[in-house]
Structure 1
């Protein structure tokens, strides 16, 4: 391909006589004609034939999706806007002469990537009909952009083929691409001793293309994908199959160390122990599965809501003037939430976008639950935080739940967006759904009328709940959380923590750290089923937890080294090797992870609990149960004058004796009059 020609300022030429009716180049850029949005009109780009490297010429055609036009769609990474290059739009016009139409040519500036993509895709002997967002949408018209974005689902699902163009050279082509064609059809990743055999294929996925938000949506919606590595064309389905097989390690611990692990780290450029966050369910194929399961789950959920609402009694209006629905105890299933608007929004923190508002707008075509609930406004003039607030307003309306408050405020590895400027109640990248599913802190209140709304002007969340307790002291056990504290020292720290919480406890033969509520904080807060799926182990009961702790202490006393830690045990770094049974060593892994990921706290009411080590918990923070939130929430009262019942959300907490609705049950009927608070 010859070198690209940069844009040049057109030279000044004398006007042609009106009598000359021939093609002429305009010194003006192309002016768009308005689309009829009610008719679902879109523009298509007719890519005129030409030799490689010659100037790009196109025509723009206006069609209605109602007429089922046949076309392809282009998916590519926009890249930097400068330098830009002119392409030329041929426009037929009969304005000046009713009998002899003229053809004018308008220049249109495009970025380098689009210029190269069009050059690689065009035929030399015939035109090609393509939809492309940068040209087919008037990018300077925010109203048109809003309407066209709402058609994006249809545009990409109806395209005959989505042409994924990547600025990547695969020359020379080796035998690995022949094996790619048979991947999953008799050929598997581990058929080759050295995973680096697959690096030429993996190199395709190292391109920035795969990390862009809009591209994720385009590929997921596509009925068929052809991947263009410049002029080389590959089966999109086989490349996506490769992506699916590699990304399995991001959700299954048992795959760590295999070829998928090596290839995943190679693609992500990741040398750390933790996997890079997955993109939209672990890949395009998995996201398509999520969409299919999501539609089925949403239909079933809608039926259950209809059955429930038909038997409900009239209710008083909420603060935003709408009649509230009872918070139903909906089961937070993977099928229901994997392709939900909220979950896609949270996952989108790990993909790149030029406009932060696209974090919502770039996923609208994928969400399976947006047909239910208040309308979502596409408004590029609104602030990004206002745009994001619509996601959570929709979740409250659809699921009658506040469990999205159960999130960790720290930015995960691989996140491209910051929490700066977010309201304290608004999740950034992750909700602890596994812990949410194991909790029922609000008990029967899941079906009790309540006030809950998001004020889109102030961006405050109004909710009801009851205060449970106040933080008295905080302890960060195990120092910096790296897991190298000697086991006897760690247990001494645990005992000291317990003595602060229960200073009047009688001395007994059993240490306080062996109490059920304390040992439960040493293991992940998960349901037995989720625990088994994640760790391939049965969740230990109280007696088993005490046995494990005592076994670890006994091993530390028998070890040759005096500083034996839980980290040494799970890595096998101890002698003699027979000081601890294999089953205890395996069960030590989740314990090691948990005790190094949390801080412990004691309360004025003599309760104990834990929060993520990254949380900003302080003495004086309050534990609340909010109606409709399945986990206790740590909140900080606003002390400023005139703030009233206003709080800052710190995050979810695990508090034994509260997690199963015990507080709600003990409160009885008085709990109906919860306190109305404002979260900022």
Structure 2
């Protein structure tokens, strides 16, 4: 099965039959002017558009044009030779030609073949005329309407883009002419999601509980709860694969600029297919939110990764999928429309935009910041200048340092430090250790971000700018308290591997039965915390990503799910000891390795004793035997294997790029995988969580550190240390991070 194309070959551009002089841009009259492309005629046989390109004051054409998305990011190998693509004849006093990429030519073809102009003036759901001819015939496309060779013009237009999208009558996203999976995708939104809404409205929490506990590929679940008998693609696995692949193969969803385009748009729509079928953004969001609530996202990503592996590829963004592709943008869109930034302040809103942009791709590294400027400009108080310079000639390092400094000096909290990436994944090696490299999205799931519920560290007593500054050399100066030094850290094990369960079991065996730094409270008063509970808390970071956390029932559900996770992972290892010679998966070397692992696991379990949350050896063996029989086709797979598990879902977020650690004084927690024994755990003024710093050298009587990431430490995350009379304020000292 070859990789899907973004449009069929029929949309590739034929050689143009006419050559005219190249179009030459004239400077815009003011920084408040924009150019618009006025459609005149399109020749589908030649992929040739006839249009005018004129400038207008942005205030004079509000709601009188359509803003398209950034087409320059879609260069294709089957574009015309050299730098040419589709051709636009621009009507000036002498007709000039403007070359564009093939993706824009594909859009224009679909736009016209789909019923221009009358069909494009109608709403795709109601069929009523809702758009004026001016809106559908005037297009703003940044690749055409901005002189991409003029750095000064780009620097002036970048801050204006938020206003362009906001003042457009319509923002229209083009997903490509490729029809593959489009029919299945539309079926999910036009048939399945309305049925889901009806079921939830009818049965309420009962229906949601069935979804959460059920298997998303189980036909009986969809038949009994939703009332759908047959999936569109023939099987539920295939239908889900097609749905997942639609998002992952439509490059639009991976573009950095999509965040700003959606967030500030007054009206946002999408088009796809050779005849320009329109898709409902609101319907897509509703279904994506549903998938997040029922906890199916991780399983769908696993399913999609297996599909990509059949093509000889792996998903390039493993670890950054938090939400099903678009939920982060939908949340930003709602917050921007509600002007929540007027209550929370522009730093929080802007950083949410930066975070969403970082997950996506762009060719120009500086665009990871520049693609947020339009949104930031709208969030700032009227008349407030941007807090950093917009210079199209600046290096990525300069742009990223300016952005990080602006956030740190204008916000009393330290959410920036929650997004510092894995050092091995950095492409910009010259950045200070505390500045995120926005070119990579491979960082541990943030736990100390703006919306964090944790209060481990000391907040500044002043409501104004906190007492910190960035030195000209790029050093971050702030204050903090050292908690302890890491004495032991486990090996990194990906959250989906059985090795993590073995590491967790071994770590548990090394802890005292009662964890000394945390208590639990009941009718009889405070009691020391069991080590199993402390371990579960740090592995899930107190259920940080669980939207249902907090209730007693949900806590018990998580504890039981932890036990099930141990049984599943350890049972899988034991099942490897049951492989028979002659079976296709038999290997004498692998068999010996499994038996050695199992001997160590059995010794750990027997040493811990059969406690409530630690399964007995016999139970693990029974599960392993069941799994081997299922592998041989002798009976179905255990329900715990085929159904989503809340604990597995939690650690899928928290333990990616993280390891367990213990300090000299017995504190336990999780830290980023690059931390080492000897690194120090600090409470930094303004942070919501503890952070790990590595001493590097001492200059002028001051110790300097490298930043190693945030961490979770059981017993301090909810401000327990501050409230216990630890006298944190008296122990603050200056900290310099390089």
**TM (normalized to structure 2)?**
0.65
Aligned equivalent of 2:488: 473
| Per-residue deviation, 1:150 | 1.6
For the pair 1:193 / 2:185, whether they are aligned, the reply is no
Aligned partners of 2:301 and 2:658: how far apart in 1? 30
For the pair 1:106 / 2:122, whether they are aligned, the reply is no
Contact kept, 8 Å, 1:56 with 1:88, in 2: the verdict is yes
Equivalent position SS for 1:636: strand
Deviations along 1:75-111, whole A, 9 cap, x unmatched?
Answer: 35432285414433222xxxxxxxxxxx222332322
Aligned partners of 2:533 and 2:299: how far apart in 1? 38
For the pair 1:243 / 2:297, whether they are aligned, the reply is no
Distance 1:564 1:659, change over 3 A: farther
Equivalent position SS for 1:538: helix
Extract unaligned runs of 5+ from structure 2: 1-10, 119-132, 198-221, 517-527, 565-607, 633-639
| Per-residue deviation, 1:164 | 2.9
Aligned partners of 2:701 and 2:323: how far apart in 1? 40
Distance 1:129 1:534, change over 3 A: farther
| Per-residue deviation, 1:178 | 8.2
Aligned equivalent of 1:34: 28
| Per-residue deviation, 1:290 | 3.6
Deviations along 1:147-171, whole A, 9 cap, x unmatched?
Answer: 2122212212222233433432439
Greater gyration radius: 1
RMSD over equivalenced CA pairs, Å? 5.3
Selected match of 1:608 from 658, 667, 675: 667
Aligned partners of 1:451 and 1:257: how far apart in 2? 41
Selected match of 1:149 from 143, 158, 173: 158
Distance 1:87 1:106, change over 3 A: same
Deviations along 1:22-66, whole A, 9 cap, x unmatched?
Answer: xxx5x45413233311xx211111222243234433222111122
| Per-residue deviation, 1:264 | 11
| Per-residue deviation, 1:572 | 14
Instruction: Output aligned runs, 1:500-519, within 5 Å.
Output: 514-515=530-531, 518-519=534-535
Contact kept, 8 Å, 2:722 with 2:728, in 1: the verdict is no
Deviations along 1:433-489, whole A, 9 cap, x unmatched?
Answer: 55663432224655598521234x4332221112222223334498998335887x9
Contact kept, 8 Å, 2:35 with 2:56, in 1: the verdict is yes
Extract unaligned runs of 5+ from structure 1: 11-24, 92-102, 306-335, 503-511, 574-580
For the pair 1:115 / 2:105, whether they are aligned, the reply is yes
| Per-residue deviation, 1:138 | 1.2
| Per-residue deviation, 1:556 | 1.3
| Per-residue deviation, 1:192 | 5.3
Aligned partners of 2:188 and 2:325: how far apart in 1? 27
Contact kept, 8 Å, 1:444 with 1:661, in 2: the verdict is no
Aligned partners of 2:37 and 2:722: how far apart in 1? 61
| Per-residue deviation, 1:401 | 0.8
Aligned partners of 2:42 and 2:405: how far apart in 1? 51
Instruction: Output aligned runs, 1:580-619, within 5 Å.
Output: 599-604=659-664, 606-612=665-671, 614-619=672-677
| Per-residue deviation, 1:627 | 0.7
Contact kept, 8 Å, 1:633 with 1:650, in 2: the verdict is yes
Aligned partners of 1:261 and 1:426: how far apart in 2? 31
Equivalent position SS for 2:548: helix
Aligned partners of 1:6 and 1:266: how far apart in 2? 39
Aligned partners of 1:289 and 1:134: how far apart in 2? 28
Aligned equivalent of 1:632: 690
Aligned equivalent of 1:43: 35
Aligned partners of 1:431 and 1:213: how far apart in 2? 20
Larger helix percent: 2
Please identify, of 173-182 and 615-624, the stretch whose mean Cα deviation from structure 2 is larger. Answer: 173-182
Please identify, of 622-631 and 386-395, the stretch whose mean Cα deviation from structure 2 is larger. Answer: 386-395
Aligned equivalent of 1:84: 84
Contact kept, 8 Å, 1:473 with 1:603, in 2: the verdict is yes
Deviations along 1:492-539, whole A, 9 cap, x unmatched?
Answer: 65333559x99xxxxxxxxx9945895465552227995734999533
Aligned partners of 1:545 and 1:242: how far apart in 2? 32
Please identify, of 593-602 and 57-66, the stretch whose mean Cα deviation from structure 2 is larger. Answer: 593-602
For the pair 1:62 / 2:107, whether they are aligned, the reply is no
Contact kept, 8 Å, 2:37 with 2:139, in 1: the verdict is yes
For the pair 1:209 / 2:247, whether they are aligned, the reply is no
**TM (normalized to structure 1)?**
0.70
